[in-house]
Amino acid sequence: MELSTLAQQLVNGVQSGAIYALIAVGYTMVYGILRMINFAHGEVYMVGALVAWLGTSRDWYGVVSHSSTGGLVLLIATAMLVCMTLGVLIERLAYRPLRHAPRLIVLITAIGVSFLLQNLALILFGADPKTVPLTWRTVQLGGISISLGQLVLLIASLSFMAGLQLLVKRTQFGRAMRAVSEDFQTAALMGVPYDRVIVGTFAIGAALAGAGGAMTAIFVGAPVTPTFGFMPGVKAFVSAVLGGIGNIPGAVLGGLLLGVIEALVGGNPTLSPFRDAVAFCLLIAVLLFRPAGLLGRAVQEKV
């Protein structure tokens, strides 16, 4: 592989990795608190992309003018709000009744919710791929071509993650989140309203996934289908595990790493059909050899 191709693949990898990271923080936060895989998280990402498509594909009385920066910001904010509502609804209707159920039951429910949302999207919007009608100028940087959209996406996702880190480390809500993920019973005894913290966690995670979906649709121009979110969702989960599940910087690192590895495999013509396999092989390898992930700390399993 030539050096410029390699650099190009790296750039593409970092871009898809940033998206994985945005989804993965949602997985990792929910897992940290509830010890469950929110399978439906990928579908929330898909809904974000759908909102972006809906916003740009018709003229909303001129409110969302998609050529202006303000219009796009408004669109992404709308997507985040819609996804936030969806995330809270999912928690309320599907997961809260099962708060004390065995983990496997919650997992099966989550798979059900994921498929429900996929098929709802299929019925409401059909299976045809939908593309946001926007194109971005490409800039050449020493043999590497980066579209302006990709650049904006990268900067935006990095700032989202920085914001999240601030929220978790510096605010009272963040402290409550950390307390609940440490030990929710003790946190409850200390007066942390953990139901509210759980809802808040779902809302934040869903909003980030929604932003990720909307930005992928707008800035990368990826075609949106009902299964748009499934594979990215699963891969984001792998990223979360790779970085150490329950650990937010770990999820970001894992996402970027997975994105880059995938891009490198995808750049090889014989291996490219199997780029989806990379994530699963990585998952098995990580769980067998370093179950705590790259940044996680090893926890002794209680018997």
Across 73-230, the runs of DSSP E, i.e. the strands, are: 138-141, 144-147
Cβ distance to another protein smaller for residue 104 or 189:
104
CB 284 to another protein: min, Å: 5
Place of tokens 């989960």: 237
Whether residue 207 contacts residue 76, with contact meaning beta carbons closer than 8 Å, is answered with: no
Single-letter residue type at 33: I
Residue 247 exposed, middle or buried by CB count within 10 Å (0-12, 13-18, 19+) = buried
Closest alpha carbon to 43 in 242, 248, 277, 213? 213
Least spacing, CB of residue 288 vs another protein, in Å? 6
Q: What stretches of 58-128 show up as alpha helix (H) in DSSP? A: 69-90, 103-125
Q: Take residue 213 and report the two structure tokens written for it.
A: 């979906």
Minimum distance between the CB of residue 299 and another protein, rounded to whole angstroms?
13
Binding residues (CB under 8 A) for another protein: these are 36-37, 94, 97-98, 101-109, 111-116, 118-120, 122-124, 126, 234, 237-238, 241, 273-274, 276-277, 279-280, 283-284, 287-288, 301, 303
Three-state SS letters, 256-268: HHHHHHHHHHHCC
**Shortest distance in whole angstroms from residue 43 CB to another protein:** 11
Q: How far does CA 211 lie from the centroid of its chain?
A: 9
Nearer to another protein, 73 or 101 (CB): 101
CB closer to another protein, 224 vs 234: 234
- Smallest gap from Cβ 52 to another protein, in A, equals 20
Helix H or strand E segment including 235: helix 230-243
Least CB distance to another protein at residue 276 (A): 6
Query: Which CB sits closer to another protein, 119 or 138?
Result: 119
Name which of 63 and 122 has its Cβ closer to another protein: 122
Nearer to another protein, 106 or 187 (CB): 106
